[in-house]
Amino acid sequence: MISRKFKYLGLVVVTLSALSAFYALKSFTPPIFSDNAVSELTSIEINGELQHLLIRGTDRNLPPLLFLHGGPGMPAMYLAHAFQRPLENEFVVVHWDQRGAGKSFHPDIDPESLSISQLISDTDELVDYLLARFRQGKIWLVGHSHGSYLGALYSQRYPEKLYAYIGIGQIGDFERETEIQDAFLRDRLIDLGISQDTQINGANREELLFKTGSELYGETSFLPLIFTGLGAMEYNLGDILNVARGSSFSSANMTYDESRDLLGEVTDFAIPVAMIMGVHDMTTPVSLAEEYFQAISAPEKSWFMVEKAAHFPHYEQPQKFFEIMLELKEQWLNR
């Protein structure tokens, strides 16, 4: 007779095996139970490269909202379930894993294909796809962190395709951003229990920003992002592993063939512009983003500060983010 101990052990083994198989194989998005809904995890060819999309909305006639993720090469699709469900009642929300990122990463991607001008071209082809597919004249564009750099460049060049541009964790000037970060971190090394003589550079800057709560408010590491990502039905185990691979690959190979000084060179917009910043954000320092916002010329512009948030206000305070987006939609949709 099999002992109770061995029965429990067998149950544990079976359960762990089932969970392992689930995480290894899952790659779908939950259905939306609405007559005209769209709930789709798909891929399309963009400028010769297969790239992956998550498209969700309760009504396919809602205006599309394209979310440009950060990085370079750091997808947001695997976090989408944690912050965008209310938005799906107001927009057709589109997440795109850019070439070399997340589900769009593969080991054979040509590193020479990674450039800012190429990403802008990819963005434009995707926007045209969304306009045609959903029979819309314009879309909404949201950019987070590095995506806010792409978003600002794209919005200035193709305003006729956009209702508005919204920057989250907005980049203003890469060089000054690093200077502000390093001065901030040097003042906090002792508080962090780190020698004042420690050199701050690309190898430790992001880790130190996390430790100061400048990436995620009240958190000192990226673990909350990982745990959230594990709950994404859209990402299987291979996709999750490709988050780090794609980010490293993109960071190492990205060619910046466009101006990196938005504050100095990208300030005139023909569409409304909004910026949403977490109060504690030093990853894209609030002071620099506000300086950029003040320098912008646009038909209308709005500035929002989110309490108890740092570099991911949309993820850290999703209800507040939804309220801001709803306010902007009501103001600017039929402008």
Residue 267 sits in a domain whose CATH number is 3.40.50.1820
Per-residue DSSP letter, 213: T
For residue 155, report the phi and psi dihedrals to the nearest 5 degrees. -65, -35
Query: Is 44 exposed, middle or buried, given 0-12, 13-18 or 19+ CB atoms closer than 10 A?
Result: middle
Residue 290 lies in a domain: yes
* pTM for the structure as a whole: 0.91
Helix (H) or strand (E) holding 167, with range, is strand 162-168
Phi, psi at residue 26, to the nearest 5°?
A: -60, 140
Q: How far apart are CA 65 and CA 121, in angstroms?
A: 18
- 103, part of any domain: yes
The answer to whether residue 84 sits within a structural domain is yes
CB atoms within 10 A of CB 257: 10
The confidence score (pLDDT) of residue 16 equals: 35
DSSP string for residues in 72-125: TTB-SGGGGGGT-TGGGGTSEEEEEE-TTSGGG--TT--GGG-BHHHHHHHHHH
Cα 15 to Cα 35: distance, rounded to the nearest angstrom: 36
Phi/psi region, residue 94 (left: phi>0; alpha: psi -120 to 50; beta: rest), is: beta
Q: How many domains does the chain have?
A: 1
**What was the pLDDT predicted at 13?**
46
Long-range contacts of 17-21 (CB under 8 A, 24+ apart): none
Residue 19 counted as domain residue: no
Residue 20 counted as domain residue: no
Distance between CA 194 and CA 288 in Å, rounded? 26
The whole domain housing 34 covers: 26-332
- The C-alpha atoms of residue 282 and residue 311 are separated, in whole angstroms, by 7
Q: What is the pLDDT of residues 231-274, one digit of tens each?
A: 999 999 999 999 999 999 999 999 999 999 999 999 999 999 99
For residue 251, CA distances in Å to 32, 114, 225 come to: 35, 10, 19
Q: What is the pLDDT of residue 276?
A: 98
Q: Phi and psi at residue 189, in whole multiples of 5°?
A: -60, -45
Q: How far apart are CA 250 and CA 256, in angstroms?
A: 11
Which parts of the chain register pLDDT below 50? 6, 11-21, 23
pLDDT tens-digit readout, 290-305: 999 999 999 999 999 9
Domain assignment present for 3? no
Tokens of 86: 């209310």
> Is residue 239 assigned to a domain?
yes
5 in a domain, yes or no?
no
